[in-house]
Amino acid sequence: MANEAVILELNHYIPARRYTVHSTTAITKGQLLKLVDPNTASGANIGQGDAFAGIAAMDKSATDGTTEISCWTQGIFDLTAAAGDTVINAGDLVVMSGANLISHIFNLNNLSGGAIVGKALETGSASEVIRVAVGSVV
């Protein structure tokens, strides 16, 4: 996988959240994961507007047989803007937009609040890495 999130700051008083994962799924530490029912994190087929579960706090092998993973849901991370995004401005709310990519919110009317990854802390253009406050929308 490419473009994994890079930890810049974590609040160690907020523990990683545990999710169920399929036992044969491979996940890379730093991968953005979507939430699917019931309480399951998935890195497959991520599209704009998918519900955000968190950022994988660990590697998970497709052959390890485990069915749980920890995810960070708050902190400051370097994330990569999608290639098709013209610009993400500091202060914009961002959502997932493909595998380990983010974009600014295009249309609030068709979006669940659960899709919000966080708030951009700096301005960036297509394919640029920017600092994002994950889990922070204020």
Q: Do residue 35 and residue 79 come from a single domain? A: no
The string of pLDDT tens digits covering residues 67-87 is 999 999 999 999 999 988 779
Residue environment code for 27-41, b if the CB has 16+ CB neighbours within 10 A, otherwise e = bebbbbbbbeeeebb
Q: Do residue 80 and residue 130 come from a single domain? A: yes
- Do the domain assignments include residue 9? no
Q: Do residue 59 and residue 39 come from a single domain? A: yes
- CA atoms within 13 Å, Cβ hemisphere of 85: 27
- In contact, 100 and 2? CB cutoff 8 Å: yes
**Mean pLDDT, 10 residues at a time, the chain of 138 residues:** 92 91 95 96 90 96 95 96 89 92 78 86 96 80
Which of 72, 87, 118 is where one domain is finished? 72
pTM of the model: 0.93
Q: Which domain holds residue 118?
A: 75-134
The string of pLDDT tens digits covering residues 84-104 is 877 999 999 999 999 999 998
Distance of CA 23 to the CA centre of its chain: 21
Query: Nearest 5°: phi and psi at 92?
Result: -65, 145
